[in-house]
Amino acid sequence: MIFPIFFTAKPLELWLAFLKGVSIYIFVSCGLRIGSTINSFMTLRKYFNFLGALLVLTGSLSAYGTSFQENVGRKSKSPAAIQDSLAWSVSFMKRVFNDTGEWYMSNESFQKTIKGVIDFNVDEPIDTVVVTLNRLLTNDTIPLIFNRKAENIPNKRTISGYLSSEELDRQVEYRRKTVTDSLRKTVIPVPESYLRDGLSKAPLIPAGDPLKMLSDMDRSCPASFNARFNRGWTNTKLPANVTAAEMDTLRVKLFVWTRQSYNDSILFYRRDSLINNFREKLTLQSAADAASQRKSFLLAKNRELLNNYNVAEVAKVNDSIRMALHFLTDRAANDSSLVTLADVSGTKTKIWTANHPMNSMRFFLKNEQNDSVSVILTNNGKGEIKMVIDDGVKFQRITETQKKEITFHPKKPDASLKKVNLRHMDPLPWTLLGAGAIGFSQTALSNWAKGGESSLSMLLTGKYIANYSKKSLKWENMAEFRIGIYESDSRGLEKNDDKLEFQSRAGYSAFKKWYYSVETDFRTQIARGYAYPDKVNPISAFMAPGYLTFSLGMDYKPNKNFSLFLSPFTSKTTFVRDTVLINPSHFGLEPGKKKLWEPGVIVKVNWHWRILDNINYDTRAEVFNNYNYPFQKFNVDWEQTLVLEVTQHISTRIMSQVIYDYNVKFPIKDANGVEIAQEAKWQFKEMFTVGFNYRF
């Protein structure tokens, strides 16, 4: 492995070898450049150029190899070199062990042993650690000590050939556009059966008795046909002496001709519409299939690239791990530990202990009378000392010295003290909390050469909580509103955030930390919303849309900061109050309808994390699936808020929200800006404000 080589090489040796090779290379090159005009020396010049470069490389690598052999092979007595290898080995192994989820051990049974050889702090003896590690390092059935999954590779963008999600989406979209443009330039044949079926449903005027149809024309014929017939009859010039019978004949002829021309025009436009719809639908479907195939191919290519890269990197890291463990194992087997002993007078004696034989020494045990006994101290393994009284010591008697007795007399409490009765006080069942904040973001420009414009934005938020908790019953209520306003020189006043929500959840304890729960949730907005810069035609308003949800399920609350609500019985109703002003089809409703009811399952997660005393993180997420489209159509709403409090009333707020609602449709336009279809899309919003806050 290259890591130990780089860490253990001596800088002076490296530079000397490198300069030596460079000097030879420069000498040979300069000498050959003088005679480079002579053709006979051209081949020899190339040979010596190659030889000089080879000498530079050989000199450098020899220094690396020599230094590595001396340090790892224990042929060098330099303490600095050994400390370099030791520091690298310990640092490398701790970096692998302390990694957060990237690396994992192939065999967990060796984890304690490896950590023991790193810091020499395990319950089992170091000899056992060394034997176990030697068995691991010589075991061919465990090729990888540490492993890593390909998906845990950090900084995937730095891998050559790996496509980021943005680049992958760009290539997929390019494939879709290429196929779409190619098919739109191609005349796609339309099946005759498709045309016959479509034309058979055309609203034609059937053949019949002209006189009878004329008499009932206003009721039986379309208004457009009647208008065409009346224009033709008005433009008909009749002779002055025309009779009533002749006039009826002319009206019949005009009716027959008008019916024929009207039906022909209906069939013509119907046929043209069917052809265009068929070709456009086939084009979009083919483009979507081609984009899907392209995406699958690129994802498979990314996986293969990551797997190949990961296999090579894992092998390199395991080589370094084995080399580090070899060094640490040898070091641990021969390492010594210093033990210090002190007598009554404060005289200290030091003795080294290790897992190999060491010299014994004599130590004198003394008492307060300065009597001493000679004791032989013998190394009995690392961190362990064997003590033996020296030969020639004779004990005559052992007598007990005089001791001073101290008697304590406890003091009785004053009899006049009265017994205090402890009264149990139940805490109030209600918890009432409220918070409001107003945040600002401003940009001011004047004669700014780089461009831009002045702007001001404001975000006003308010939240109130009323929770009831007593014994097995919990009732949580929350009301929240947000309104954001943005103003710039060019676009004027606009709205960038709007939310009004009421939520109530009641629960009764079921078992452990689970509660039987029922929840009601209502959400809408306060003001009208527009597709800026259009400020005339609103796309949303109060109760357009509005969402009302009833849920029955289980709530898991392990602590006051976390909640997981699972409801398999959920009723979700979408309201559009004003269908004249707001298009209900944009929110999944049929034209003319004001309400959409959906049964389904909902999952909600709430988590509050107090990172520091002045930094708080809150996240709310919910996923809804309609039972009419199981595992197909989902609603996702995820909010995150990070609040950094500067003072008690000044804070910085960072908010983000991700929404996906299969009922909310966005227009898809062609190159000419004409809407050709609608589809649901992922919605994202992020806001950063600095302002004032107040709690009560």
Q: What is the pLDDT of residues 171-229, one digit of tens each?
A: 999 999 999 988 888 888 889 888 888 888 888 888 888 878 887 887 888 888 888 88
Give how far the C-alpha of residue 160 lies from the chain's centroid of Cα atoms, to the nearest Å.
23
**pLDDT at residue number 381:** 67
pTM of the model: 0.41
SS3 string, 97-110, reads HCCCCCCEECCHHH
Tokens 């991700």 sit at which residue?
658
Higher pLDDT, 410 or 226: 226
**Residue 599 pLDDT grade (very low, low, confident, very high; cuts 50, 70, 90):** very high
**pLDDT at residue number 53:** 44
| CB contact at 8 A, 402 and 396 | no
Q: Which of 15, 28, 24, 14 is nearest to 55 (CA)?
A: 24
Tell whether 292 and 201 lie within a shared domain. Answer: yes
For range 405-413, the mean pLDDT: 64
* Distance, CA of 236 to CA of 255 (rounded, Å): 12
Tell whether 483 and 515 lie within a shared domain. Answer: yes
| CB contact at 8 A, 603 and 623 | yes
Reported as a single tens digit per residue, the pLDDT across 275-290 is: 999 988 989 999 999 9
DSSP conformational letter for 425: -
| CB contact at 8 A, 80 and 305 | no
The domain boundary residue, chosen from 120, 150, 180: 150
In this structure, is residue 181 part of a structural domain? yes
Tell whether 298 and 342 lie within a shared domain. Answer: no
Tell whether 438 and 521 lie within a shared domain. Answer: yes
CB contact set of 301 (below 8 Å; sequence gap of 6+)? 163
Angle at CA 663, nearest 5°, toward 658 and 667? Answer: 85
| CB contact at 8 A, 604 and 552 | no
Beta-bridge partners for 634: 625
In this structure, is residue 224 part of a structural domain? yes
Tell whether 240 and 195 lie within a shared domain. Answer: yes
**pLDDT at residue number 602:** 94
Tell whether 134 and 185 lie within a shared domain. Answer: no
CATH assignment at residue 636? 2.40.230
**pLDDT at residue number 325:** 74
| CB contact at 8 A, 604 and 589 | no
Residue 389: which H helix or E strand, with range?
strand 385-389
Tell whether 593 and 471 lie within a shared domain. Answer: yes
| CB contact at 8 A, 236 and 247 | no
Beta-bridge partners for 122: none
**Residue 4 pLDDT grade (very low, low, confident, very high; cuts 50, 70, 90):** very low
Reported as a single tens digit per residue, the pLDDT across 142-165 is: 666 677 888 888 888 888 888 888
In this structure, is residue 79 part of a structural domain? yes
Q: Which of 503, 504, 461 is nearest to 687 (CA)?
A: 461
* Distance, CA of 538 to CA of 526 (rounded, Å): 13
Higher pLDDT, 515 or 42: 515
**Residue 524 pLDDT grade (very low, low, confident, very high; cuts 50, 70, 90):** very high
Residue type at 574 in one-letter notation: T
For range 467-490, the mean pLDDT: 89
Q: At what angle do helices 42-72 and 79-97 cross, to 10 degrees?
A: 80
- Whether pLDDT at 63 is above 50: no
Tokens 């002076």 sit at which residue?
12
**pLDDT at residue number 113:** 63
Tell whether 9 and 93 lie within a shared domain. Answer: yes
* Distance, CA of 118 to CA of 115 (rounded, Å): 5
**pLDDT at residue number 422:** 53
In this structure, is residue 141 part of a structural domain? yes
Listed ranges 250-254, 255-259, 419-423, 619-623; the one with the highest mean pLDDT: 619-623
Lookup: tokens for 129: 């650690």
Tell whether 354 and 459 lie within a shared domain. Answer: no
Q: Which of 370, 386, 368 is nearest to 378 (CA)?
A: 386
The SS3 call for residue 165 is helix
The SS3 call for residue 442 is strand
Least reliable range by pLDDT among 150-154, 389-393, 458-462 = 389-393
Tell whether 497 and 623 lie within a shared domain. Answer: yes
Reported as a single tens digit per residue, the pLDDT across 617-655 is: 999 999 999 898 888 888 899 999 999 988 888 888 898
Torsion on CA atoms 483, 489, 491, 497, rounded to nearest 10: -10
For the chain, the domain total comes to 4
Radius of gyration of the chain (CA): 44
Tell whether 621 and 484 lie within a shared domain. Answer: yes
Lookup: tokens for 159: 């891998």
In this structure, is residue 316 part of a structural domain? no
In this structure, is residue 606 part of a structural domain? yes
For range 111-134, the mean pLDDT: 58
* Distance, CA of 348 to CA of 516 (rounded, Å): 69
**Residue 313 pLDDT grade (very low, low, confident, very high; cuts 50, 70, 90):** confident
Higher pLDDT, 243 or 32: 243
**pLDDT at residue number 33:** 47
Q: What is the CB neighbour count within 10 angstroms for residue 393?
A: 9
* Distance, CA of 362 to CA of 385 (rounded, Å): 12
In this structure, is residue 639 part of a structural domain? yes
The residue segments making up the domain with residue 357 are 337-389
- Whether pLDDT at 21 is above 70: no
**Residue 416 pLDDT grade (very low, low, confident, very high; cuts 50, 70, 90):** low
* Distance, CA of 561 to CA of 575 (rounded, Å): 33
Least reliable range by pLDDT among 122-126, 244-248, 609-613, 676-680 = 122-126
**pLDDT at residue number 517:** 95
In this structure, is residue 257 part of a structural domain? yes
| CB contact at 8 A, 355 and 333 | yes
- Whether pLDDT at 92 is above 80: no
Tell whether 604 and 473 lie within a shared domain. Answer: yes
